[in-house]
Amino acid sequence: MPLPDPDAAHPIILPDGTAHAGTVHLAKVIDHPCIEVGAFSYASDFDPPEPDGWAARLAPYHFPFSQDRLVIGRFCQIAHGVRFIGASANHETRGISSYPFAVFDPERMAGFQPDTRDIVIGNDVWLGYGARVLAGARIGHGVIVGAGAVVRGEVPDYAVVTGNPGTVARMRFKESEIARLASLAWWDWPVATIDAARSALEAGDVAALERFAPA
């Protein structure tokens, strides 16, 4: 079975031949100036929005005029209930009051955004059911975020993050293997090569994966 068609909005075809409406390739359904999604990254939802509603569902505070960005790499997997809480949601906290007075003043509203930190998600990241990713988060490649975790700050490549606040529960591979995987960057390989290497990717065999690396 080949890899899913990255140009298909709905990558999962059910046994009866119909497309599963609750799972989408995000790059095909999100057209937003502040959101960038790599190929093959998908999201699933038990109550899927209209095709043009996925950006608002996943990142409700990323407005077209927001000064922060959401960047999601390739081959990411985003479960039901995941939300990216962008910097546009944050209030100014250096004053006596955190009340956003400027939001209600048309003359001051333009350009008012106290926090402009981006959210950057690496490649091959699995965000579990109901996870929350906060402004400024930098999630490395191959990370697994547990169900309900609340993630902020930097998460190293191939970590498993759980809890609130999200903390690294364990690393998925040895330090030497993580360095090799970062160098291989399999998600950037030609699609045919990735398809050929699926057995190694599914087995967790770093040495086997290296044998498929393009020359």
Helix or strand run (H / E) with residue 36:
strand 35-37
CB 81 within 8 A of CB 129: yes
Cβ contact 178:171 at 8 Å: yes
Phi-psi bin for 124: left (phi > 0), alpha (psi -120 to 50), beta?
left
Q: Provide the annotated active-site residues.
A: 91
Omega before 156 within 30 of 0, i.e. cis: no
Both tokens of 91, joined, read 């209030």
- The CA distance from 114 to 129, in Å, is 30
